[in-house]
Amino acid sequence: MIVVVKIGTSSITEVDGTIKSDAVAKLSSEVAAAKADGHQAVVVSSGAIGAGLPVLGFEQGRPRDSVTLQALSSVGQSRLMSLYQECLDSYGLICGQVLLAPRDFLERPQYLHARRTLNRLLKLGVVPIVNENDAVADDAIRWGDNDRISALVAHMVGAELLVLLTDTEGVHTADPRSNDETRIVEEITNLSLLDELAAAAGGAGTDRGSGGMSSKLAAARIASLSGVRTVIAAAHRDQVVADALDHSPGVGTTVTAQPQRMSARKLWIGFAMVPSGTVWVDDGARRAVVERGASLLAIGITRFEGAFQPGDAVDVRGPDDQVFARGLMEVSSDDMNSVVGLRSDALPAGAPDEVIHRDSLTVLPL
């Protein structure tokens, strides 16, 4: 089995940004144990920016400007990798650094190259250590947290399990920082519950991290739709990776895999691409897309906003203003006014029949 393990900034660094060597050592030992049991492991590790804070004299707080954050990541990433290799050395394991950005998932040649590299590392017995390429990432096209990257990596390498390590024991029915009566949700099989739980869970756990429980639930949704089981659990729990692999009760919150695995292309469109605009459709168009898997035709569109070109992603909203799909446009925003609301036989010459083709349209689970 291939397992992807993601650990966040707050679980791997101290308040001042210093890397918790014991946390890296613990995770390394659990990865080594998983490999000894015949599994392959990929680690998605945050912490580079945090690790750079004390080195460059930012002990008093994390800066906000993107250029300084990129510089911090560049300095901190080498220190993070050095510690992982030092810890894995004691188990006779080698780690390899893989820095990814959204374009590595959005552009198919890049995607295939990244997948080949990761698969080759795994076959060579290497433990890939993945992080977002913060040092050079385009601020307009980046995610800023590794939760979604870990879910997409799980799909990329064909993993069966994604373990999201955090500061809490799992997903709670309310924010445990403000509600003493909250309880842990041990299993989630219905993805419709994820939004409700995300709203109840609160934001990022610390000002050092950029994710939070809502981000982990979003990642779990992607993984579930990829056919990957997700376990959200405490990084400090003993043998947490082994327990997740063994389906041990009480390990945390498990989000089960959906029976139908979404294609990589559908995942890219639905969860990796940054939308350039929005189109609103009537209820008939919404039903056709959701219930029949139809393409989106001009006649069903009521209005639009944004600046986009053919091939750009847009959100699709129903008459209730809820986003229910995301797709790649066949028509630019400059030409939209000439097609909105028209029947196919009334379209201008050369205009495509489908504003968004069904093969480029991902219905987002509610």
Q: For each of the domains in the chain, give its residue range(s) and CATH number, in order of start.
A: 2-265 (3.40.1160.10), 275-363 (2.30.130.10)
**pLDDT at position 210:** 47
Residues with Cβ < 8 Å from 218, sequence gap 6 or more? 147, 148, 194, 198, 271
Report the pLDDT value the prediction gives residue 281, as an integer from 0 to 100.
98
Q: Determine the pLDDT at residue 179.
A: 66
List, in sequence order, every residue forming a beta bridge with 4; answer none if it has no partner.
42, 162
pLDDT of residue 137: 60
Q: What is the pLDDT of residues 246-260, one digit of tens each?
A: 999 999 999 999 887
- Cα–Cα distances in angstroms (integers) from residue 104 to residues 56, 81, 112, 198, 328, in the given order: 29, 21, 9, 27, 18
What integer pLDDT is reported at residue 194 of this predicted model? 77
Question: Could you report the average pLDDT of every consecutive run of 10 residues in the chain (366 residues)?
Answer: 94 84 97 98 92 84 83 91 96 96 80 95 98 68 74 95 93 72 84 74 51 83 93 96 96 92 84 89 96 96 97 96 95 96 92 94 83
For the entire predicted model, the pTM comes to: 0.84
Q: How far apart are the first and last CA of the chain?
A: 30
